[in-house]
Amino acid sequence: DVKVTQSSRYLVKRTGEKVFLECVQDMDHENMFWYRQDPGLGLRLIYFSYDVKMKEKGDIPEGYSVSREKKERFSLILESASTNQTSMYLCASRIGGASSEQYFGPGTRLTVT
């Protein structure tokens, strides 16, 4: 079974803090994704990576950056957390292209106070 794990289920941070969200997959997938999930908005793509050290902006990249130094690990970074970044963050991985299944982690619920 594919497994995607996220470092924290719940996280509380203060405004202005630097926040790291970690995601690890164990199936050697080339593609990894970060989404945020908000009620009534579904999932929106923040960034994705198609290979080590490669990244592409998604639909809402502002205020976020990412890092992929190893194939199995994809990190989302909030350089200076703000209250409007309070949300559920989901990581996913996939092998193959647009017709392939994405496998999701359990999510990290981030609260910025």
Partner 1 sequence: AQSVTQPDIHITVSEGASLELRCNYSYGATPYLFWYVQSPGQGLQLLLKYFSGDTLVQGIKGFEAEFKRSQSSFNLRKPSVHWSDAAEYFCAVGYNAGGTSYGKLTFGQGTILTVHP
Q: Pattern of binders to partner 1 over 43-62, x per CB under 8 A? A: xxx--x-x-----x-x----
Residues 6+ apart with CB under 8 A from 62: none
* Residue 107 found at the interface with partner 1 (CB under 8 A): yes
34, 47, 64, 104: which one binds partner 1 (CB under 8 A)? 104
Q: How far apart are CA 31 and CA 101, in angstroms?
A: 11
24, 66, 81, 90: which one binds partner 1 (CB under 8 A)? 90
The token duo for 29 is 């997938």
DSSP string for residues in 5-42: EES-SEEEE-TT--EEEEEEESS--SEEEEEEEETTTE
The answer to whether 70 and 54 are in contact (CB under 8 A) is: no
* Residue 66 found at the interface with partner 1 (CB under 8 A): no
Instruction: Choose the binding region for partner 1 from 13-21, 64-72, 74-82, 90-98 (rule: CB under 8 A).
Output: 90-98
> Which residues inside 14-43 make contact with partner 1, applying CB under 8 A?
31, 40-43
Nearer to partner 1, 4 or 81 (CB): 4
* Residue 99 found at the interface with partner 1 (CB under 8 A): yes
